[in-house]
Amino acid sequence: MSTGPAGGGLEPTVCSSCASPQLTRLPMVLTDGTEVTFVSCHACERREWFTVGEDGLAQSLPIETVLARSAKKPR
Ligand SMILES: [Zn+2]
C-alpha cells in the first residue's frame, strides 16, 4: 500500500508565512537541470522555491541557491 502521494503534491498547500491557501504553483527547471516548484502567495506576496530531496520530501530552496543554479556557466 502507498504511504503517501506519488508524484507532485509535495509542496505545501498553504503559505508558510500567512497560511493563505491562495498560492500559485509553477513548475520550473533551473539551468543546471534541477526541477523546482515556484510558489507565490497572493495574500502576502511571499515567494518560495521547493525541490524534492533525496528522501523524496519537498524541501525549501533558498533564493541564493535558485539564483546560483540558474546562472549560466561559461564553458
Ligand atoms: Zn502568504
Per-residue pLDDT of the chain (75 residues; tens, 9 = 90+): 544 444 455 678 899 899 999 999 999 999 999 999 999 999 999 999 999 888 988 899 999 999 999 988 777
How many A from CA of 48 to the centre of ligand 1? 10
The residue type at 10: L
How far is it, in rounded angstroms, from Cα 7 to Cα 75?
34
How many A from CA of 15 to the centre of ligand 1? 5
Query: Shortest CA distance to 23 belongs to which of 50, 52, 37, 43?
Result: 43
Nearby residues for ligand 1 (ion, Cβ within 5 Å): 15, 17-18, 20, 41, 43-44, 46
Cα distances (Å, whole numbers) of residue 46 to 1, 49, 73: 36, 10, 28
pTM of the model: 0.75
